[in-house]
């Protein structure tokens, strides 16, 4: 399997920009000045799509924007006004790079829901968990170091690893998440080929984009494999509290506190526009994270930390998350029903929480090539290719049910079905020639439908 053979994807990250990369070198007079790492900066397929997909006539099943309509805006407005009026001189002033002490204590209560016993000192508040990701990559990744991730994996993580010129090796998942045996093989093969594996980056719960959850019985095995191979685990868990049955899963961090860096976020459970996330890290790593934060932004925004803190202190935030969960479950159900009804010939994962369904399309269809036609037909999705660094993923796409209404979701899937049907018909007419597909890569997610 391409994904489990430990073969290292030598993407664009390691390549220096050369004049040959551009049609006209005079377009960028600074071309010869950039650092080597800058060559790894590419607009992600998903983000490049946002502008088009945001037109009102298009049903966007592409983005990962949480639905905020259930937020109690009036109450929040009063709380924020009170913070500025009464504590404005604090809220509008610089604060420590570490994060506000009260908020760090409250974050310990949040992660306790997943079985983590954390000390507030070991929490570092970040500008969204994306910044946590970026700082972890910065601290650990030398150019050429290998980061193992699930295949597919979160676009923003792949971007951060590329920004520090790390190489990504994708490891197989099935419907129970990351496959331990595949991880073992990948780590062994990377080492045998002379690579230094620094990190396992994993999204154990309600995976983005795959929609699957790492089985509880695999968790101890995964952390044990990493410990034995001297690989630090980066556990990215933005969706952990959004399980549709209300249950949480034991965090990897709870199983091996000294070898797991945990990334958390209030973006999916409260408000992404505040950009408040956190890293929970072993002490020595945490100290370096605080220093790296100073260098990156001096400190996270004070007002925003106080808004989150007030929300956690003065509001039934767990009840609020329960309302969100219900909304997402309703949307997930609408999407699954529509998929059953409209999308014969495809298979997909069934998420128990989070935002995403991962779809495998019929052979001969290239989801990247198809995307412009889908948008023209009024529906946007994220092509599977954006979630991998090895060029595969053309037989997959990610559908998000987090933002649109159930009606729009149904309509979007209906439109997608029609575009797919035309494509399959065409494929049959032209004998299934697909210039973009990579043979032998099918994502290995156990199909449903």
What's the closest the beta carbon of residue 340 comes to its own copies, in angstroms?
30
Nearest to its own copies of 118, 402 (CB atom): 402
Q: Is 26 exposed, middle or buried (0-12, 13-18, 19+ CB in 10 A)?
A: exposed
Closest of 125, 135, 156 to residue 278, by C-alpha: 125
- Binding segment for its own copies among 107-115, 264-272, 340-348, 375-383 (CB under 8 A)? 264-272
Give the Cα separation of 157 and 236 in Å (integer): 9
Query: Which of 134, 150, 235, 434 is in the footprint of its own copies by CB under 8 A?
Result: 134
Nearest to its own copies of 34, 430 (CB atom): 34
- Binding segment for its own copies among 103-111, 123-131, 334-342, 433-441 (CB under 8 A)? 123-131
Nearest to its own copies of 40, 177 (CB atom): 40
Give the Cα separation of 339 and 347 in Å (integer): 9
Cβ-count burial 192-219 (b if 16+ within 10 Å, e if not): eeebebbbbbbbbbbbbbbbbbbbeebb
Query: Which of 5, 18, 82, 193 is in the footprint of its own copies by CB under 8 A?
Result: 82
Query: Which of 1, 2, 14, 44 is in the footprint of its own copies by CB under 8 A?
Result: 44
Give the Cα separation of 104 and 317 in Å (integer): 16
Whether 219 contacts 245, CB under 8 Å = no
What's the closest the beta carbon of residue 415 comes to its own copies, in angstroms?
24
What's the closest the beta carbon of residue 82 comes to its own copies, in angstroms?
8
Q: Is 182 exposed, middle or buried (0-12, 13-18, 19+ CB in 10 A)?
A: buried
Cβ-count burial 66-97 (b if 16+ within 10 Å, e if not): bbeeebeeeebeebbeebeeeeeeebeeebeb
Q: How far is CA 198 from CA 149, 195, 273, in A?
A: 11, 9, 31
* Subset of residues 334 to 393 that bind its own copies, contact rule: CB under 8 A: none
Whether 44 contacts 154, CB under 8 Å = no
Map residues 302-341 to x or -, x wherever contact with its own copies holds by CB under 8 A: xxx-------------------------------------
Does 120 sit near its own copies (CB under 8 A)? no
Whether 246 contacts 288, CB under 8 Å = no
What's the closest the beta carbon of residue 421 comes to its own copies, in angstroms?
33
Query: Which of 36, 112, 313, 426 is in the footprint of its own copies by CB under 8 A?
Result: 36
What's the closest the beta carbon of residue 300 comes to its own copies, in angstroms?
7
Map residues 269-298 to x or -, x wherever contact with its own copies holds by CB under 8 A: --xxxxx------x-xx--x--xx-xxxxx
* Subset of residues 90 to 119 that bind its own copies, contact rule: CB under 8 A: 90-97
What's the closest the beta carbon of residue 405 comes to its own copies, in angstroms?
14
Q: How many CB atoms lie within 10 A of CB 20?
A: 7
The C-alpha angle with vertex 98 and arms to 306 and 265, in degrees rounded to 5, equals: 60
Nearest to its own copies of 66, 362 (CB atom): 66
Whether 382 contacts 398, CB under 8 Å = yes
What's the closest the beta carbon of residue 68 comes to its own copies, in angstroms?
5
Q: How many residues bind its own copies (CB under 8 A)?
A: 86
Whether 324 contacts 243, CB under 8 Å = no
Query: Which of 141, 179, 226, 365 is in the footprint of its own copies by CB under 8 A?
Result: 141
Q: How far is CA 430 from CA 245, 403, 425, in A?
A: 46, 37, 9
* Subset of residues 61 to 80 that bind its own copies, contact rule: CB under 8 A: 65-66, 68-69, 71, 73-74, 76-78, 80
Nearest to its own copies of 272, 384 (CB atom): 272
Q: Is 138 exposed, middle or buried (0-12, 13-18, 19+ CB in 10 A)?
A: middle
Nearest to its own copies of 78, 109 (CB atom): 78
- Binding segment for its own copies among 88-96, 169-177, 242-250, 377-385 (CB under 8 A)? 88-96
Nearest to its own copies of 293, 366 (CB atom): 293
Residues ≥6 apart with Cβ < 8 Å to 328: 67, 242, 244, 353, 354, 355, 401, 402
Indicate if the alpha-carbon torsion angle 127, 129, 134, 136 is positive or negative. positive
* Subset of residues 390 to 449 that bind its own copies, contact rule: CB under 8 A: none
Does 128 sit near its own copies (CB under 8 A)? yes
What's the closest the beta carbon of residue 156 comes to its own copies, in angstroms?
7
* Subset of residues 155 to 214 that bind its own copies, contact rule: CB under 8 A: 156, 159-160, 162-164, 198
Does 41 sit near its own copies (CB under 8 A)? yes
């Amino acid at each position: 399997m391409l994904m489990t053979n430990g073969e290292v994807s030598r993407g664009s990250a390691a390549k220096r920009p050369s004049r040959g990369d551009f049609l006209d070198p005079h377009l960028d007079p600074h071309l010869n000045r950039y650092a080597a790492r800058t060559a790894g900066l590419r607009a992600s397929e998903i983000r490049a799509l946002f502008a088009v997909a945001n037109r009102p006539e298009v049903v966007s099943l592409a983005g990962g924007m949480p639905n905020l309509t259930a937020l109690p805006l009036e109450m929040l407005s009063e709380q924020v006004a009170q913070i500025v009026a009464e504590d404005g001189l604090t809220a509008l002033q610089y604060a420590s790079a570490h994060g506000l002490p009260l908020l760090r204590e409250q974050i310990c209560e949040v992660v306790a829901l997943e079985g983590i016993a954390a000390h507030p000192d070991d929490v570092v508040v970040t500008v969204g968990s994306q910044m946590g990701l970026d700082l972890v990559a910065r601290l650990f990744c030398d150019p050429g170091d290998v980061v193992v991730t699930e295949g597919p994996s979160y676009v923003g993580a792949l971007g951060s690893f590329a920004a520090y010129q790390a190489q990504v090796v994708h490891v197989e998942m099935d419907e129970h998440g990351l496959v331990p045996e595949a991880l073992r093989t990948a780590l062994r093969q990377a080492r045998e080929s002379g690579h230094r594996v620094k990190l396992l980056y994993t999204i154990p719960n309600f995976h983005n984009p795959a929609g699957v959850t790492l089985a509880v019985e695999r968790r101890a095995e995964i952390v044990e494999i990493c410990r034995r191979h001297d690989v630090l685990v980066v556990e990215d868990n933005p969706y952990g509290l959004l399980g549709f049955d209300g249950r949480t899963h034991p965090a990897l961090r709870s199983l091996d506190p000294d070898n797991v860096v945990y990334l958390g976020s209030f973006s999916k459970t409260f408000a992404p526009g505040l950009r408040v996330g956190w890293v929970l890290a072993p002490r020595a790593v945490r100290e370096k994270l605080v220093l790296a934060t100073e260098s990156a932004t001096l400190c996270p925004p004070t007002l925003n930390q106080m808004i989150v803190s007030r929300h956690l202190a003065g509001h039934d935030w767990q009840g609020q998350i329960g309302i969100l969960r219900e909304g997402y479950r309703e949307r997930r159900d609408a999407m699954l029903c529509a998929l059953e009804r409209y999308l014969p010939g495809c298979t997909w994962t069934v998420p128990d929480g989070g935002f995403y369904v991962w779809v495998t399309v019929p052979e001969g269809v290239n989801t990247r090539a198809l995307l412009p036609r889908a948008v023209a037909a009024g529906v946007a999705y994220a092509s599977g290719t954006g979630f991998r660094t090895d060029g595969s993923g053309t037989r997959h796409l990610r559908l998000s049910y987090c933002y649109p209404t159930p009606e729009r979701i149904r309509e979007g899937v209906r439109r997608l079905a029609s575009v797919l049907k035309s494509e399959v018909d065409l494929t049959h007419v032209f004998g299934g020639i697909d210039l973009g597909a990579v043979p032998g890569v099918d994502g290995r997610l156990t199909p449903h439908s």
